[in-house]
Amino acid sequence: MLLLAAASGGCYQSQPERPASQPAPRSRLVDNPPEPLRLKPLPLPNAPTEQWLKVQQLCASAKGGWAEGRFDPQSNKIRITTHEVQAFSVDASIIPIQWDSLVVLSLDDENSELLRRDAPVLHFFLDEHGLWTIKEPPRTAPP
pTM, full prediction: 0.62
Residue 83 has a pLDDT of 94
Alpha-carbon span 82 to 3, nearest angstrom: 49
Mean residue pLDDT of the chain comes to: 78
Residue 94 has a pLDDT of 92
Closest CA to 67 of 43, 39, 86, 92: 86
* DSSP SS3 for 106: strand
Residue 118 has a pLDDT of 84
Which letter does DSSP use for residue 122 in this model? E
Residue 43 has a pLDDT of 54
Q: Which residues of the chain have pLDDT under 50?
A: 1-14, 48-49
Give the model confidence (pLDDT) of 49-75 as tens digits. 468 999 999 998 888 899 999 999 999
| Cβ atoms of 100 and 125 closer than 8 Å | no
Residue 80 has a pLDDT of 96
Residue 136 has a pLDDT of 74
